[in-house]
Amino acid sequence: MSSNTAAKLRACLRCNFAQTAREFHTKGCPNCQEILDMQGSQERVADFTTSNFDGLICMLQPEQSWVAKWQRIEKRIPGLYAVKVVGRLPEGYE
């Protein structure tokens, strides 16, 4: 992944899943769509994601990954995750 691509990523404030704002708008968050309902809403994407995060983990086999267990993401779908996000969900969504 180029640094230019990484700079365009945003991370979900609830589960740390990382993808572009366009992908959040088009597909929502694969872990949190039922709760945060970002699909089709630029306002919700802006409210529930952040571009302020440190590090990325590419998790392919969640149940077998010690890194996934260490990050407490072993129950989430495979994909790209931010190691640490900076920001908070709006009140009522914690």
Nearest Cα neighbor of 9 from 37, 34, 29 is 29
Is the pLDDT higher at 23 or at 6? 23
Domains within the chain, CATH numbers bracketed: 3-85 (3.30.40.210)
User: pLDDT band at 3, cuts 50/70/90?
Assistant: low
pLDDT over 60 at 21, yes or no: yes
Confidence (pTM) = 0.87
pLDDT digits over 34-92, tens only?
999 999 999 999 999 999 999 999 999 888 888 888 888 888 999 999 999 999 999 88
